Structures are given as C-alpha cells and as structure tokens.
Chains A and B, each alone.
Chain A
C-alpha cells in the first residue's frame, strides 16, 4: 500500500463520514434552520474531502486544479444558497423549534413587503 493510496483512502472515508452525518442531521434536527446548518457545513466539508481524495489519486496538476475549482465553487455557493433559503423560509413564516428562545429579527421585517428591510433599511 503506497502512501498516496493511504492518504486518498483516509480522505475518502472521512468525507463519507461527514456526508453521512450531514444527511442524518437533515433528518433528525427539529426545524428548517438547524437542518440548513447540517446540510451546508458538514455536507460541503464531506464533498470537499472526497474531491481532495480524487486529486490525490490522480496526482495530476490539471485534475487537482479541476477538483479544487469544484471545491471552491461549493465553498462560495453553499453559504449564499443557505442565506437566500433561510431568508425565504423566515419570510414564509416557517415555524421555529418550540424551544428556540431568541429571534433577533422579530418585528424587524415587514412580511407583506419583503423588499423593505425594516428599521435599518435605507430610505426608498
């Protein structure tokens, strides 16, 4: 067993573990905001580790660059997608977990007019 093979196998298994944990989190967490936390962070890290394993296995500069491009793309888009989706869920009034104690956005958004941003919004 060569060192490359060992590193790639360990990266693959770690990535698989993170990916499985994020899927379990999406099913087990009590509300949509917590589910988003599991799907976005652990899922991106797991996919990134698997992509890293691919670049280690092939050991070619072009392929390494390509898999890093995919990883950085995921790293750029995952927070944006989660933020847009969380904002949409909040506007849509998706219920929070009954034991959530703090909602800092309470009363700061006009649900009927999502384009107005509440007290802090710039004048129209």
Chain B
C-alpha cells in the first residue's frame, strides 16, 4: 500500500485521524443506545451508527485504495434507512413501551 509508506503524508495522517474520530463517535453514540431512556432514543442513536458505518466504509476505501467498498456503503445506507422506518412503524404500533 502506497498510502502508509513512512514518512506518512498529510492524507495518510488525515485518514488515520478520521478513522480514530469516527470510532470514538460510534462509541459515544453506542452510549446513547445503552442509556435510552426510551425506544425512539435508541433508534435515533442506531440510525446515527448506521450513518457512521457508511463514513467508516468510505474511509476504509481511501485507506486500502479499494473503491469497491463504496458499493457496500450504498447497500448499508439502504439497509439503515429501511431499519429505521421499520422501527418507527413498530414504535407507532406498540405505543412506545420500552423493552
């Protein structure tokens, strides 16, 4: 891989910093999934985690110089959206009881 040959260039450092920041963001969002307190709170945080996963995939595509990963990003974005809508219908159906 040419990108991570030492000495690291600006793009390599930016890629590493972005990976780290997005990983921290996923952990922070996971804290809201655990803490709740209501089911819609958890679904909002899960939706954000799906979005963060799309960003992780595009950073990995840059880091590994493999643009095919972007196809996985399309599929993941679609599935995250469908999951959020399904959860929203479920919340309307069961009236917001958690658990």
Asked if A81 contacts B17 (CB within 8 A), the reply is: no
Q: How large is the interface on A (under 10, 10 to 19, 20 to 34, 35 or more residues)?
A: 35 or more
Q: Is the CB of B85 within 8 A of A84?
A: yes
Q: Are A47 and B84 in contact (CB under 8 A)?
A: no
Find chain A residues with CB under 8 A from B89 CB. Answer: 84, 88
Query: Is there contact, CB below 8 Å, between A50 and B70?
Result: no
Tell me which residues from 26 to 47 in chain A have a Cβ below 8 Å from any Cβ of chain B: 26-27, 32, 35-36, 39-40, 43-44, 46-47
Say if the beta carbon of B4 comes within 8 Å of chain A.
no
Write out the residue numbers on chain A whose beta carbons fall within 8 Å of the beta carbon of B54: 47, 51, 70, 74
User: Total interface residues on B, using CB and 8 Å?
Assistant: 51
CB proximity of B75 to chain A, nearest CB, Å: 10
Which residues from chain B contact A60 at a C-beta distance below 8 Å? 67
Query: For the complex, would chain A's binding face be called helix, strand, loop or mixed by DSSP majority?
Result: helix
In the complex, what's the smallest C-beta–C-beta distance from B36 to chain A, in angstroms? Answer: 10
Task: Give the one of B25, B29, B84 with max A CB within 10 A.
Answer: B25
* Nearest B residue (CB) for A49: B55
Give every chain A residue within 8 A of B13 (Cβ-Cβ): 9
A92 CA to B12 CA in the complex, in Å? Answer: 46
Do A73 and B78 form a contact, CB below 8 Å, given A9-B11, A12-B15, A92-B96?
A: yes
Partner of B21, one of A19, A36, A93, A94: A19
Contact B61 A54 (CB under 8 A): yes
Question: Which one of A17, A69, A70 has the highest number of Cβ atoms from chain B below 10 Å of its Cβ?
Answer: A70
The answer to whether A26 touches B45, judged by C-beta atoms less than 8 angstroms apart, is yes
- Chain A window 78-100, contacts with chain B (Cβ cutoff 8 Å), 1 for yes, 0 for no: 10110011011101111000000
Interface centre among B18, B87, B89 (most CB of A within 10 A): B18
- C-alpha spacing A10/B73, complex, angstroms: 21
- CB pair A50 B77 closer than 8 Å: no
Residues of A that sit less than 8 Å from B by CB? 1, 5-6, 8-10, 12-13, 15-17, 19-20, 22-24, 26-27, 32, 35-36, 39-40, 43-44, 46-47, 50-51, 53-54, 57-58, 60, 63, 66-67, 69-70, 73-74, 77-78, 80-81, 84-85, 87-89, 91-94, 114
